[in-house]
Structure 1
């Protein structure tokens, strides 16, 4: 019935690309892959804009290749189509467990290779390089794989807190201001981006700044005295800030990074949701991961609506999964370190190649570098939005009025009737809690307000 209707729609309008696309889906389900391919090829040629067309084209080509028909393209082409469909290499790594039932890991790697070949950031970084391209490719690919492992996906991680000043909280809540991703160059930690380089034994001397990372910082723990002492201080007085707790819906559900760099077809807006990644806390001296950012046991005891035995069980299962993930990340970091060491063994005594690698590799690791922090900060239990941007002639980058910080706009926490805010914690020394809570009530916002009563002098 649907097939007949679609054929009639095409007969009435031969330029109806959506009818061609939908008919291609039907033919693919009927295992008529050649017919499906001709239909989707017409749709993407005549109307290349809809991402769904390219996703269907990737699926049809995959089925063709698996059926033994290799004349229409390769798995690398599948990767190209997925980029046109707004997929990202990080998301493909994450989805591997669900698609491995009919694809081998080698085939998935070929798809990811096709995606990385579309990555503007990667292409521009390695352009005109002398070191063999597969060495840089493998290093970048492994770093992206590790970033994908850090995507926040645990079911217990449904809320995330951002600690800030009361002035900023007022702007974000009552003035509908955009949240800002700030450049890492003015972060509180002066060693931002270095712990990973220390871990792999890399010098800090050759860090070019053609690109820069912009981050939005959150934590898994919504009511933390440690965070209140560090962040959101008014007049530099500890404990005078606020903790704004957001729903997981504030972030992208799929794993993706830098669609403006990895997808040349995309038009990026500050309205586009970004993914959230947990930080790695590392000890550069012992070369070990101390922990990954996660929700602490105290949050389970206080906030989860289970009886004590069920709460304990769920908490232990969650912490076991985090520990297993830590072990997996540690193994992947070891592989990355080995790849870099092997490259430097191969180019030893070739000064021009060594100097090039010292400049290029830190750039290729830029997404991962700013998700790796020194173990001294492990109590922060941080997770981050991270967006890498070219600095030159970039209209997305803005400057604060005092010219002290560069930033990029991200979507508001609260905007009219739409709010991602779930609750707000007032620091132990923050003033005017009752007035703030009354303003929330006056505007009809469904946001719980709590006064923090941590012991703090």
Structure 2
């Protein structure tokens, strides 16, 4: 324990010092932390924890290239990737760009839009126990091309030559967030009740407190990782809420460049002979880090395109795209500025549950009542068939004193609700 205390002191030096000279000194101290991590005094769990802290400590020092390299190396190791394998390296690079560490997210608020009834269930307002937030199946998301856009870019779409389609043994589950808080378009699309636009709820996270804590990238890919290295991530590690440390990913948007979508709308142009471009939004206002991310994403995608042009691509290599295919969406969804928590599961996993009310499958995430900082009720919250009142919702939330309750005043008229059957 003496060594961990020393590491803590060194780590917070690098975190707090802003003067250039002191930053350089803190950077030297990081080398000492790295040396201690490689010593014999730490168990595997402590070592993993401090490796993450070491990587994160590089970020405020503005050593972005080195930060990226260490982050990528960490991902290669945690996912049991082969450092000498080109496709493993390309995928690790993409994950190092799109997996957002807590240090990168900082205090950026994220919004999750949902319906009033789901909001009530999450906070247990109807006399029932609070429900965990759910990660929904990728199969029935509002985007019919979910998971396919990257495959199209790489010319790896499923070929259905027979009169049937083979089903994957895996499925992706995620819950989505947006940097667009109290946004009219988001309110119009998501969380509608009785078909009334802007009648849902906007849950705001990461506004007053750090939502993401220690995250573990392998938790998104447990069955894939275990297939590469048996029981690297034991099943029982995910039985408790404490151990469910899903990382956050930013979504990038792939566009087919035509007369309406110009190259200038995409920050990344993929080779001169390609008609595809990619939009990667900034995370916060760090321009220098954003430039590093754009460069690394462009390099990795171009390398993947070259790799999959080879005729003899193995099925194993193609299956590796499961790690990243759900981190890209069609350019048409660019206004969502989406982030997501994601988990890949085998379809026979005990973690997958069936909701009879919605006839859908999902994976539970967590009780989020201590993660939410604000609930913004849509402009038309009171204009559905359910006779809801903002005042009543505010009263029902009285026990959650840390959560601010607001009523949106975005300018939108209420369309008529669906008729009651």
Do both proteins adopt the same fold according to a TM-score greater than 0.5, normalized to the shorter chain? yes
Cα distance, 1:370 vs structure 2: 1.8
Residue matched to 1:163: 113
Q: Give 2:248's aligned residue.
A: 276
When residues 277 and 370 of structure 1 are mapped into structure 2, their CA distance, relative to the original with a 3 A threshold, is: same
- Deviation (angstroms), 1:25: 6.7
Query: Please, which runs of 5 or more residues in structure 2 have no aligned partner?
Result: 9-31, 161-165, 226-231, 258-274, 383-388, 414-421
Give the C-alpha shift of residue 380 in structure 1.
1.5
Q: Paired residue for 1:252?
A: 212
What's the CA shift for 1:400?
Answer: 0.8
**Which has more radius of gyration?**
1
- 1:212 maps to 2:212: no
The alpha carbon displacement at 1:108 in A equals: 8.0
In the TM superposition, residue 229 of structure 1 has moved relative to its aligned partner by 0.4
Deviations, residues 314-354 of structure 1 (Å, cap 9, x unaligned): xxxx44x2x55554333223322333344345x43xxxx33
Q: Does 1:437 align with 2:394?
A: yes
Distance in 1 (CA, whole Å) between partners of 2:237 and 2:281 is 33
Q: Does 1:336 align with 2:300?
A: yes
Q: How does 1:15-414 map to 2 (within 5 A)?
A: 22=1, 59-60=35-36, 62=38, 85-86=47-48, 113-117=76-80, 134-148=85-99, 153-157=104-108, 159-173=109-123, 174=125, 175-205=129-159, 209-247=168-206, 249=209, 251-259=211-219, 261=222, 262=225, 263-265=232-234, 267-269=237-239, 271=241, 272-285=244-257, 286-292=275-281, 318-319=284-285, 321=286, 324-344=288-308, 347-348=310-311, 353-354=312-313, 356=314, 359-392=315-348, 394-402=349-357, 404-414=359-369
Offset, 1:382 = 1.6
Query: Does structure 2 retain, via aligned residues, the 8 Å contact 1:143–1:365?
Result: no
Q: 2:215 & 2:296 partners in 1: Cα distance?
A: 18
| Residue 280 of structure 1: how far off its partner (Å) | 1.6
Greater shift after overlay, 447-456 or 148-157?
A: 148-157
CA RMSD of aligned residues (A): 4.0
**Corresponding residue for 1:37?**
none
The CA deviation at 1:444 is 5.7
Which structure 1 segments of 5+ residues have no match?
A: 1-21, 30-55, 65-77, 124-131, 295-317
Measure how far apart 1:172 and its partner are. Answer: 0.7
- Whole-Å separation in 2 of the counterparts to 1:278 and 1:341: 21
Q: 1:324 to 1:108 in 2, by over 3 A?
A: closer
Shift of 1:406: 1.4
SS at match of 1:422: strand
Q: How far is 1:277 from its partner?
A: 2.3
Shift of 1:82: 5.5
Higher mean Cα deviation, 445-454 or 139-148? 139-148
260-269 or 92-101: bigger deviation: 92-101
- Work out the CA distance in 1 between the residues paired with 2:104 and 2:169: 32
The aligned residue for residue 34 of structure 1 is none
Q: Quick one: structure 1 residues 236 and 326, their matched pair in 2 at CA, closer, same or farther if it must change by over 3 Å?
A: farther
Aligned length: 342
**Rounded Cα–Cα distance in structure 1 between residues aligned with 2:70 and 2:205:** 38
- The verdict on how the C-alpha distance between 1:190 and 1:85 changes in structure 2, with shifts beyond 3 A counting, is farther
Structure 2 distance, partners of 1:136, 1:255, is 24
The alignment partner of 1:243 has SS state of strand
CA–CA separation in structure 2 for the residues paired with 1:420 and 1:28: 28
1:104, distance to aligned residue in structure 2 (A): 11
